[in-house]
Amino acid sequence: MPGAAGPLDQFVERLHRCIATFARTHGIEQAAVEVEFPDGALVPVTAVSAEPGYGFVSLTPHVEEPDEPEELIVPIGAIRQIRLSVPEPARRGFGFSVQE
């Protein structure tokens, strides 16, 4: 259940598998991944990590300026939904990389 301090490593591993399966099924190299928060904010992300744990995950948002890196550490319960899609043609270079 979102918000519970459960096995976040397993959640993130399974999420990565879902993303890889989605990309493979749709014949794309990378899927577009967006995380929605309760306030309706939709954040495109390039990575999700189970760190630091204790009910929190780290999200790496897609940034336009690579020299301005950003990372969000959020409680898992703050994630309303995770949306997978095929990147728009103008954003084909943008996507989520699953680390093997």
Domain locations in the chain as residue ranges: 8-91
Q: Are 50 and 57 in contact (CB under 8 A)?
A: yes
Fold of 8-91: SH3 type barrels. (2.30.30)
Tell me which amino acid residue 28 is: I
Nearest of 23, 34, 21 to residue 83 by alpha carbon: 34
- Report pTM: 0.79
Per-residue pLDDT of the chain (100 residues), as tens digits, is 445 556 889 999 999 999 999 999 999 999 999 999 999 999 999 999 999 988 899 999 988 777 778 999 999 999 999 999 999 875 544 555 555 5
